[in-house]
Structure 1
Amino acid sequence: MTQPSSSGPSSGPGPRVLVVEGALRDNGGLRVSLDLARRWQDLGARVRFLVLENVEPDGPMLEPDPRLDTRWGSAQVRRFRSAAPRVLVNVLRHVRRADVVVSGSEVGYGLLLGWLAARATGTPFVVLVQSSLPRAVAAWTPARLRPALTAVHRRVDAAVCVSPGLVDDVLEVGLPADRVHVADVGIDVDARLAAVAAQGGPVRSTSGRTRLVAAGRLTAQKGFDVLLDALALVVAAGGDVELVLVGAGEEDERLRAQAERLGLGGRVDFAGHVGDLQALLAGADLFVLSSRYEGNGSLVLLEALAHGTPVVAADCPTGPRHVLRDGEVGDLVPVEDPQALADAVLAFCRDPAPLRRKARLGPARARDFDQQRAAVQIARLLAELTRR
């Protein structure tokens, strides 16, 4: 395993970098790859962003970034399956014009088609590993495609893990250690702080209750069902709390039904997607991460730390322990343990001082995950691959 150099790309014209994504679904992984692509471009690379599906996905999507040369796998607005032959031809055409190809995700058709086209043209191929490989493959990939994904994972020219905790998964599939790299991706702390000011300052509870905030796509991965069970235990023990749950996804109806069944209807705000997330995080009494697994510990966890908000997080694979520095910056609880999570919330409600002391370390810890440094490290790796 190696750490890409942070000394910056070499002088001269930058490489032609093709970033391949399946669709513009609004999620943390896509936001990371878009942000890195913009930064690579600022560093001198000639970046093209190729999106296979030219169709609005189910659920929220991100608009194409006007600062990037964004292309579509198919000129026709249709799902990937119906446009696959044309998409494959277009991927090959774009790869022929690239010096290096980067898959923004460790799963999906973008990874498979990008790798096939790169192999056909002899172009170096890099994958950003943003989540636990076995869990991501099981959650997001049809069974028939899993062997093909594993074959690609062990043959890429480089895998860049966004957190050290992801390395073992990559090594386990058989990729040689000298092709595995780590770049701790992060957030633009100053931009997050500025967003709060632009949104009129922190958004705080007006009910007098201790406000918990959680955020993420409403999927099984995020463990919001565990959080609701824990919230019910807190209320039963006398905790006067409320929860703002930010996000949308396929678990929405089931989670709403669970909240009603637990008698939490008046205490849980299913806020959906919001424009003032940073203000909500800054105004929260406590941020809670209940995930079953993560990539770099969830970017929203770093955002909460940036605002100095106290944090309780499930000690899930692969990042919260790394981000919270073994519990120095926030409290860690076992995964999928509603009682342990409830106990941590109750402890905060009864005496918030210990966790608030930890939270004062949060802004400095968030700055340890410097996104520009990560972009430079990866840009250096891409430049090295094109010279081999």
Structure 2
Amino acid sequence: MRDNGGLRVSLDLARRWQDLGARVRFLVLENVEPGGVPVLAPDPRLDTRWGSAQVRRFRDAAPRIVAATVRHARRADVVVSGSEVGYGVLIGWAAARLTGTPFVLLVQSSLPQAVAAWTPARLRPLLTAVHRRVDAAICVSPGLVDDVREVGLPAERIHAVDLGLDVEAVLARTAAAGGPVRSSSGRLRLVAAGRLAEQKGFDVLLDALARVVAGGGDVELVLVGSGPLEADLRAQADRLGIADRVEFAGHVADAQPLIAGADLFVLSSRYEGLGLVVLEALVHGRPVVATDCPTGPRYVLRDGEFGDLVPTEDPQALAEAVLAFVRDPEPLRRKAAGGPARARDFDRAGAALASAKVLAELIG
């Protein structure tokens, strides 16, 4: 699994399809992060199967995983890949073709960026060939449709759903956890969340934070998440002289209290499929500054109506947006006041129903 956020989306859709009356089997091909940390614990509400009986790296269990995928595909009416990249797509597509089962791709990120970031160069042509041959692609936001069309998949096989959040459930979980976690230092608290990987642009964010501090901004940053770049980001914070302003919160079971307690939520990504963390910030009415990256933030924030947008790869622009908030937070707070209502425009139950109809049509 390449992204915990993408895994959560796939799991939620699987549960909702099951609630709609489908028989769902959730097959996990790889369940370990670097360092041996399991990504997913068994979910008693879902028929979860493992490609390998033990938690291990993919390369150590590949033969068993391939055999298990073919076996499960033979018993399925449709095979859905929860990611658009990785060995799982190739194995799932091959198993579906071998068994004559329709194969569906859930597209959660911009295809060109995701393929370049997560796929070895030798496999990219093969992966692109699979992308143009799937029976259907379900995009989690309309902005992803053009990417899928450009790889050569016929337009009639491409579908878009507005993936969202269960707003009431998010608010209830936050309340049950004790409510928002706010700064105790007296500084304005910036919160960013995501895997500590190249996609999320946290290196740009740290550079911007140093500029904010140099410009007189009395701020701190909480980075929520874990990932392969943590050591590099810690070293960067040290070099920039802002280590005392940055808290690496690591992986947390539920980031909602931290997001709800932010004075300002910042998204610094280089690309996103939708940007669910931006929606989570809107649920809590938090001011947002986000990079105008492909493809989700501009769509979620409705061209800047509900938060500020800045160019990608531009730490100075990001710093200026944060400093503007520090000096006068009211304009962005007024935008954030409409955030909860905007978040409700994205209905996860509706997305599950729309995607389930696509699967039902394939099954016939």
Q: Same fold (TM over 0.5)?
A: yes
Aligned partner (choices 35, 50, 57) of residue 72 of structure 1: 50
Partner of 1:262: 240
Aligned-CA RMSD value:
1.4
Quick check: 1:241–1:267 contact (8 Å CA) kept in 2? yes
SS at match of 2:26: strand
Aligned partner (choices 340, 344, 366) of residue 317 of structure 2: 340
Quick check: 2:164–2:276 contact (8 Å CA) kept in 1? yes
> CA separation in 1, counterparts of 2:253 and 2:74?
39
> CA separation in 2, counterparts of 1:126 and 1:44?
19
CA distances 1:56-82 after superposition (whole Å, capped 9, x unpaired)? 664451212111111122335543323
SS at match of 2:30: coil
> CA separation in 1, counterparts of 2:180 and 2:350?
29
Aligned partner (choices 188, 197, 202) of residue 166 of structure 2: 188
Quick check: 1:54–1:75 contact (8 Å CA) kept in 2? no
Quick check: 1:26–1:60 contact (8 Å CA) kept in 2? no
- Asked if 1:377 is matched to 2:349, the reply is no
Partner of 2:18: 41
> CA separation in 2, counterparts of 1:238 and 1:142?
43
Paired amino acid for 2:148: V
Paired amino acid for 2:246: V
Aligned partner (choices 227, 235, 239) of residue 205 of structure 2: 227
SS at match of 1:269: strand
> Across the two proteins, how many residue pairs are aligned to each other?
363
Paired amino acid for 2:324: A
Paired amino acid for 1:331: D
Residue 141 of structure 1, CA deviation: 0.9
Unmatched runs of 5 consecutive residues or more in structure 1: 1-22
> CA separation in 2, counterparts of 1:243 and 1:377?
38
Aligned partner (choices 79, 87, 91) of residue 65 of structure 2: 87
Partner of 2:119: 141
- Asked if 1:204 is matched to 2:182, the reply is yes
Quick check: 1:26–1:62 contact (8 Å CA) kept in 2? no
SS at match of 2:83: coil
Paired amino acid for 2:291: A
Moved more, 80-89 or 242-251: 80-89
Structure 1 340/60 Cα, relative in aligned 2: closer, same or farther at 3 Å?
A: farther
- Asked if 1:239 is matched to 2:217, the reply is yes
Write out aligned runs for 1:123-134 (5 A).
123-134=101-112
Unmatched runs of 5 consecutive residues or more in structure 2: none
CA distances 1:37-92 after superposition (whole Å, capped 9, x unpaired)? 00000000000011123656644512121111111223355433233223222211
Structure 1 29/77 Cα, relative in aligned 2: closer, same or farther at 3 Å?
A: closer
- Asked if 1:175 is matched to 2:145, the reply is no
> CA separation in 2, counterparts of 1:55 and 1:339?
37
- Asked if 1:154 is matched to 2:132, the reply is yes
Paired amino acid for 2:276: L
Structure 1 218/76 Cα, relative in aligned 2: closer, same or farther at 3 Å?
A: closer
Residue identity (%): 79
> CA separation in 2, counterparts of 1:263 and 1:77?
39
Residue 144 of structure 1, CA deviation: 1.5
> CA separation in 2, counterparts of 1:322 and 1:366?
12
- Asked if 1:52 is matched to 2:29, the reply is yes
Paired amino acid for 1:266: D
> CA separation in 2, counterparts of 1:232 and 1:74?
45
Partner of 2:249: 271
Q: Which has the higher contact order (CA 8 A, sep 6+)?
A: 1
- Asked if 1:287 is matched to 2:265, the reply is yes
> CA separation in 2, counterparts of 1:278 and 1:222?
18
CA distances 1:211-256 after superposition (whole Å, capped 9, x unpaired)? 1001111111111111111111111111111111111111111111
SS at match of 1:201: coil
TM-score (norm 1): 0.91
Residue 273 of structure 1, CA deviation: 1.5
- Asked if 1:305 is matched to 2:273, the reply is no
> CA separation in 2, counterparts of 1:330 and 1:375?
27
Quick check: 2:31–2:40 contact (8 Å CA) kept in 1? no
TM-score (norm 2): 0.96
